């Protein structure tokens, strides 16, 4: 295995397996890779149709100027300057009314449905998270004043929203999209089928979740936007542009520069179509125990958690964090939530991470390539599962990929990551992956990021194709197989109250040559705990009294905590955005017939009715940047202002 020396640094963020969501509420450091609740533990990154038949039916936005008197430009900045206010919002809404077969319109300042009643829709926010509530209330006020819509604000537990509203039972089916028939051959709970396939509960809008923008390699965004039938599409968005062709063009890029250019048109179309109503990017505001050494204001804050310590770099104390929502599962094969990803990461490492310079850092395995097409994985030889599973070898990873992630029955969280990849074991501790087309930035997509899972544990479920048994296996749910593969050992998962850990004395990272010198002693805490505390005031109180060593700080209280000598506050960049999810499926838009959310001009109208600047100043206290092009400004793939 090749060695990469990394000078000892203070800080970093552990990057976990793909997490799709981030739940709004100022998370604390959220793991990069997919979606999670923006409300993690704050500790280690660890927090154009008429709608009548579910078909696309209209051209939405034809790439023009957005309609009479509304100049959109290539990268329209909805919600600021000339694209904010009642006039532009109502103009765009009127275009949507004209596309709909139903008689929506304005009665004075009020938007009315075909029965002449005021349009009334709801918006959900995360219960117990003040920032999420204030954001929802601001949106309701803006849509009322600028579009005449009555918006009912409701609180909901993030886990309940995910299970009952956000995801659905995979059903598959076909639909006509942009004049072509599309078949959902491999539906997932996050994209259960065409728009006619819905969640258990109807809903209109939410600010519960934000999405990962994948700033290290935005090619990964194909999981959201590669046509109407990508892996992840809970809202039922149908691109009006040829997303699949543009993503294929991006996949052909052979350098960062080529990828930057390939994505300009994709970002432009996303900016125009507003698949999710983009609002802002905010840093995680995280309060830490001032005696804690390690955390830094860096996107990779937490990657070197095993080197964090209190005061002197010796093993002592317990690293305790708080989170707002419980965990649906700790099964590494099926988790897609950031909060649970944090909890899993305390006891189980993944293949690699990125250091404070955003450079690849091998954990369980190293990766190398000469041409970007064939990648060699070198597995460390000092990795052990718990008994009776023995040593971790390349066979475990190859079996996991071929028999689970690439199967047509298991529907694991990583299933989309291994489509079209040929995997072959080439040695006891080595295997190769051959991509359909070269990708020099493959590790930055997080697709090759794997958990180690014993073949002997999952093989009986593979033989029976027993997905339910695999999801509910106690060894997976309780992380009983983790051996020396994580810094801590999970002692207990209290379903409603959190997780408790003790130091793993056999942690493999102590015997590697790379990384900070303190890895040889790590982790430097005797115990660890993640506590579920729903009320924000209680979470902050735990931080103030020292009961918690890390907690998310809401922006409205940033200044007071920044001046508190008992708390160290850090602004940590994240990949997650703050968005309004609008339900474009058949159980969305409960204000009348036809789903106006399916129409591009109506989504543009919503975006134009909400002032990004006022939201940032009023709710986020200026601690955020407006969101336009699906990349944060600090990303090298941000297309700039041109």
Residue 538 has pLDDT above 60, yes or no: yes
Give the range among 387-396, 407-416, 602-611 with minimum mean pLDDT.
Answer: 407-416
Residue 471 has pLDDT above 60, yes or no: yes
pLDDT for res 496: 82
Residue 28 has pLDDT above 90, yes or no: no
Rounded-to-10 torsion of CA 161, 164, 165, 171: 140
pLDDT for res 445: 86
| pTM, entire model | 0.76
pLDDT for res 337: 82
pLDDT for res 292: 97
Residues with Cβ < 8 Å from 117, sequence gap 6 or more?
A: 592
pLDDT for res 253: 83
Residue 365 has pLDDT above 90, yes or no: yes
Count, residues in the chain: 642
**Can you tell me the distance from the alpha carbon of 596 to that of 606, in angstroms, rounded to the nearest whole number?**
11
* Between 130 and 588, residue with greater pLDDT: 588
What's the pLDDT tens digit per position in 31-83? 333 333 433 333 333 333 333 333 333 333 333 444 456 889 889 999 999 99
What's the pLDDT tens digit per position in 560-609? 999 999 999 999 998 899 999 999 999 999 999 999 999 999 999 999 99
pLDDT for res 159: 85
* Between 249 and 403, residue with greater pLDDT: 403
Closest CA to 616 of 607, 605, 625: 625
* Other beta carbons within 10 Å of 456: 14
**Per-residue pLDDT band at 437 (split at 50, 70, 90):** confident
b/e 563-602 (16+ beta carbons within 10 angstroms → b): eeeebbbbebbbbbbbbbbbbbbbbbbebbbbbbbbbbbb
**Can you tell me the distance from the alpha carbon of 304 to that of 8, in angstroms, rounded to the nearest whole number?**
9
Residues with Cβ < 8 Å from 266, sequence gap 6 or more?
A: 218, 221, 225, 243, 246, 247, 250
What's the pLDDT tens digit per position in 163-198? 999 999 999 999 999 999 999 998 999 999 999 999
pLDDT for res 30: 30
pLDDT for res 27: 35
**Per-residue pLDDT band at 24 (split at 50, 70, 90):** low
Give the range among 310-319, 440-449, 452-461 with minimum mean pLDDT.
Answer: 440-449
Average pLDDT over the chain, rounded to whole?
89
**Can you tell me the distance from the alpha carbon of 593 to that of 144, in angstroms, rounded to the nearest whole number?**
20
Residues 582, 196: contact at Cβ < 8 Å? Answer: no
CA torsion sign for 475, 481, 485, 491 is: positive
**Can you tell me the distance from the alpha carbon of 193 to that of 196, in angstroms, rounded to the nearest whole number?**
7
What's the pLDDT tens digit per position in 133-160? 999 999 999 999 999 999 999 999 988 9
**Can you tell me the distance from the alpha carbon of 112 to that of 353, in angstroms, rounded to the nearest whole number?**
51
Radius of gyration of the chain (CA): 24
List the Cα angle 307/563/308 in 5-degree steps.
Answer: 5
Region 203-232 average pLDDT? 93
- What the chain holds in terms of domains, given with CATH numbers, is 6-46+77-283+575-626 (3.10.105), 351-485 (3.90.76.10)
pLDDT for res 600: 98
Cα 364 → chain centroid: 23
Residue 340 has pLDDT above 70, yes or no: yes
pLDDT for res 641: 58
């Amino acid at each position: 295995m090749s060695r990469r020396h990394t000078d000892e640094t203070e800080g970093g963020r552990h990057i976990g397996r793909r997490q799709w969501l981030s739940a709004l509420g100022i998370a604390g450091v959220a793991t990069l890779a997919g979606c999670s609740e923006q409300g993690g533990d704050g500790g280690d990154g660890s927090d154009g149709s008429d709608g009548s038949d579910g078909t696309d039916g209209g051209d939405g936005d034809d790439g023009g100027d957005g309609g009479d008197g509304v100049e959109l430009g290539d990268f329209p900045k909805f919600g600021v300057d000339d694209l904010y206010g009642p006039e532009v919002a109502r103009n765009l809404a009127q275009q949507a009314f004209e596309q709909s077969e139903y008689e929506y319109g304005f009665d004075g300042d009020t938007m009315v449905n075909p029965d002449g009643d005021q349009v009334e829709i709801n918006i959900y926010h995360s219960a117990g998270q003040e920032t999420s509530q204030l954001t929802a209330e601001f949106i309701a006020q803006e849509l009322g004043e600028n579009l005449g819509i009555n918006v009912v604000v409701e609180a909901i537990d993030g886990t309940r929203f995910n299970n009952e509203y956000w995801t659905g039972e995979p059903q598959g089916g076909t639909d006509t999209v942009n004049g072509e028939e599309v078949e959902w051959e491999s539906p997932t709970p996050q994209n259960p089928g065409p728009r006619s396939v819905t969640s258990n509960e109807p809903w209109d809008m939410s600010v519960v979740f934000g999405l990962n923008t994948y700033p290290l390699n935005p090619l990964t965004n194909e999981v959201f936007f590669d046509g109407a039938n990508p892996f992840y599409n809970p809202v039922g968005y149908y691109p009006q542009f040829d997303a699949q062709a543009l993503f294929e063009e991006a996949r052909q890029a052979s350098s960062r520069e080529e990828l930057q250019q390939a994505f300009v048109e994709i970002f432009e179309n996303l900016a125009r179509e507003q698949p999710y109503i983009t609002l802002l990017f905010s840093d995680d505001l995280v309060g830490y125990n001032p005696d804690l050494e390690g955390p830094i204001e860096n996107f990779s804050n937490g990657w070197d958690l095993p080197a964090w310590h209190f005061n002197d770099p010796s093993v002592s104390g317990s690293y305790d964090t708080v989170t707002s929502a419980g965990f649906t599962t700790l099964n590494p094969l099926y988790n897609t939530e950031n909060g649970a990803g944090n909890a899993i990461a305390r006891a189980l490492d993944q293949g690699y991470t990125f250091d404070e310079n955003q450079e690849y850092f091998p954990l369980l395995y190293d990766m190398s390539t000469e041409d970007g097409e064939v990648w060699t994985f070198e597995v460390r030889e000092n990795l052990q599962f718990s008994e009776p599973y023995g040593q971790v070898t390349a066979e475990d990873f190859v079996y996991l990929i071929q028999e689970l992630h690439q199967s047509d029955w298991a529907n694991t969280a990583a299933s989309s990551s291994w489509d079209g990849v040929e995997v072959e074991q080439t040695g006891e501790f080595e295997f190769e992956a051959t991509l359909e087309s070269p990708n020099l930035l493959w590790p930055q997509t997080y697709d090759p990021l794997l958990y180690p899972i014993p073949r002997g544990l999952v093989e009986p479920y593979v033989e029976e194709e027993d997905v339910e048994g695999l999801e509910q296996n106690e060894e997976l749910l309780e992380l009983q197989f983790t051996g020396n593969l994580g810094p801590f050992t999970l002692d207990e998962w209290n379903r409603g109250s959190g997780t408790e850990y003790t130091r793993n004395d056999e942690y493999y990272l102590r015997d590697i040559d790379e990384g900070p010198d303190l890895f040889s002693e790590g982790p430097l805490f005797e115990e660890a705990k993640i506590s579920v505390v729903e009320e924000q005031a209680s979470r902050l109180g735990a931080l103030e009294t020292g009961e918690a060593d890390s907690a998310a700080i809401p922006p409205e209280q940033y200044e007071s905590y920044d001046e508190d000598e008992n708390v160290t506050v850090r602004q940590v960049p994240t990949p997650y955005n703050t968005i309004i999810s609008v339900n474009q499926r058949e159980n969305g838009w409960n204000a009348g017939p036809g789903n106006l959310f399916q129409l591009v001009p109506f989504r543009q109208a919503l975006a134009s009715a909400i002032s990004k600047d006022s939201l940032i100043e009023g709710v986020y206290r200026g601690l955020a940047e407006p969101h336009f092009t699906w990349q944060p400004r600090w990303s090298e793939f941000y297309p700039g202002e041109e």
